[in-house]
Every structure is written in C-alpha cells, then in structure tokens.
Amino acid sequence: MNLTLRIWRQSGPKDKGRMVTYQVEDVSPDMSFLEMLDVLNERLILAGEEPVAFDHDCREGICGMCGLMINGNAHGPQRGTTACQLHMRQFADGDTIDIEPWRARAFPVVKDLVVDRGAFDRIIAAGGYVTAPTGSAPEAHATPVPKVDADAAFEAAACIGCGACVAACPNGSGMLFTAAKVTQLSLLPQGQPERYTRVIGMVDAHDEAGFGGCTNAGECTVVCPKGIPLNTIGRLNRDYLKATAKRGDTA
C-alpha cells in the first residue's frame, strides 16, 4: 500500500507543534502500525531528517506504553486493540492517516507523539497498593473470595494504564483508570484495611493532576483496549461516598 501520513511534530513541550505530511510506499498489510512508523523513521534517518518520536515497549498490547490518536480514534479504528497490535490491513491503499499524541491537560507533550503520563504514576503512589505484610504466597483457597468479586477484580486489574480513556474523554478525565486501580484492590480481602483512605487519596491525586471530571460520557470504555466497563467508575463512586461519610465530610 501507498499511504499519506499527517503526523504531529513538536520538538519539545514549549514548541507550538504542527502537522507534517509524509508519503510511505510499499507498506505490507501484515505490518503492525508501529512497524510502519519504524519504516518511515528508517527512511527519515537515511535522509538526514529527525525521526518521529513515539512511545513503545513490549509491542504485545500488554505494557500500555504505546498511545496514538489515529484518525481521531485512540489506538485506531479497531476496538479492543492497542496501537502496537493494530495492523495495516485495517487501512486501504491511498488512505490519508492522521497521527497525533494523546490530547489532555494532564498529559503534556514531551516530543512529537510522546506525552508525559507521570500523572498516572502519582495516582498509583497515592494509594494503589497494599501495605499489609503478606509473607510468602498463601494457599490458594485459604481466603475464600466470591467468584463475582474475583471476576470483577480481575477485569479491573487488566488495565494497562495506556491513557486511551483520557484521550477519548471529552473532559480529559482519568476516572476509568483510577476506578480500575481502586476496584482491583477494594474487591479483595488484601485491600480492605486501606479501602477508604485509598479511594480518597487516589481521587484527590487524580484531581490535583489536572484531569477533568467524569460526566459518564462513556467514550473511555469504547476505546479501552482491555474492555474495562463503565460500572467500574460506579464502584469507585460508591466507595468514595462511603469514605467521605466515614471521614465526616460535608462537602
């Protein structure tokens, strides 16, 4: 395939940035989207030009590093797929593809398609852990967990922290990510001692990072490559209301 790429180029956080057009030829439909960008970068380097910076690591849809807006869609047109697992057979010969970074106040652009997602790390640091000493691995059935809770916790734990939910949200909210990290612990026995201090700390960190508020638009769940459902946010909201009541908040 021969394709026209319009890619966001930005030399640094203070640069204004602009869309730059490139032509790529002989693209195999079996290439992944990132492999196609690798081919482009090889050609740019051979021509003495600056390659396009973009995040990537495992390229297996596991690590959450890759994050691109492709024709206005977080991770591209195929649902339940990260950009690294998106293949060029989803496009047609002669297509024009717009490639941009995540757009959110909490995710400032570092360079080109790379954004700083350190805000997610600060949310995790505010409570996404358990401090109880657990020792060695316990017997699997020593602490019974209802299957419905175990399934919901596992579903939430599938979050890879890619940030697609933030990029797709009209408010730039990171609430689906925050809810997933809260829920995966709040549904299990190990997460109970800090359940309510955790949710307050992580929601406060979310707001302080500059993410927008959640208005249940639902765009986050549509683009989530791991299919985390909207009711995960409902679980967080219930825990947050209980936590503020226990703390005696009147706001």
Residue-wise pLDDT tens digits, 24-42: 999 999 999 999 999 999 9
> pLDDT-based confidence at 174, cuts 50/70/90?
very high
Please indicate, yes or no, if residue 112 is contained in any of the structural domains: no
Instruction: Indicate the pTM of the whole model.
Output: 0.93
Please indicate, yes or no, if residue 111 is contained in any of the structural domains: no
- CATH classification of the domain holding 18: 3.10.20.30
- CATH classification of the domain holding 205: 1.10.1060.10
Residue-wise pLDDT tens digits, 193-218: 999 999 999 999 999 999 999 999 99
Q: What is the pLDDT of residue 82?
A: 97
Residue 155 has pLDDT above 90, yes or no: yes
Please indicate, yes or no, if residue 222 is contained in any of the structural domains: yes
Please indicate, yes or no, if residue 65 is contained in any of the structural domains: yes
Q: Are 69 and 7 in contact (CB under 8 A)?
A: no
Q: Are 213 and 171 in contact (CB under 8 A)?
A: yes
Q: What is the pLDDT of residue 143?
A: 83
What value does the mean pLDDT of the chain take? 94
> pLDDT-based confidence at 142, cuts 50/70/90?
confident
Q: Are 16 and 40 in contact (CB under 8 A)?
A: no
In this structure, the answer to whether residues 131 and 84 fall within a common structural domain is no
The token duo for 117 is: 């997602």
Q: Are 172 and 203 in contact (CB under 8 A)?
A: no
In this structure, the answer to whether residues 137 and 80 fall within a common structural domain is no
Residue-wise pLDDT tens digits, 3-23: 999 999 999 999 999 999 999
- Local structure of 110: helix, strand or coil: strand
Q: Residue 132: how many CB atoms within 10 A of its CB?
A: 11
Burial of 240 (C-beta count, 10 Å sphere; 0-12/13-18/19+): middle
Residue 249 has pLDDT above 80, yes or no: no
β-pair type (96-100, 3-9): parallel
Residue-wise pLDDT tens digits, 63-106: 999 999 999 999 999 999 999 999 999 999 999 999 999 999 99
Cα–Cα dist 34/76, whole Å? 12
Mean pLDDT (whole number) for 181-203: 94
Please indicate, yes or no, if residue 77 is contained in any of the structural domains: yes
In this structure, the answer to whether residues 234 and 169 fall within a common structural domain is yes
Cα–Cα dist 200/182, whole Å? 10
Q: Residue 40: how many CB atoms within 10 A of its CB?
A: 20
Closest CA to 117 of 109, 125, 126: 109
Please indicate, yes or no, if residue 106 is contained in any of the structural domains: no
Q: Give the domain range for residue 67.
A: 3-100
Of 45, 68, 100, the domain-final residue:
100
In this structure, the answer to whether residues 132 and 226 fall within a common structural domain is yes
The token duo for 152 is: 């919901």
Of 55, 75, 100, the domain-final residue:
100
Q: Are 66 and 84 in contact (CB under 8 A)?
A: yes
Domain count, the chain: 2
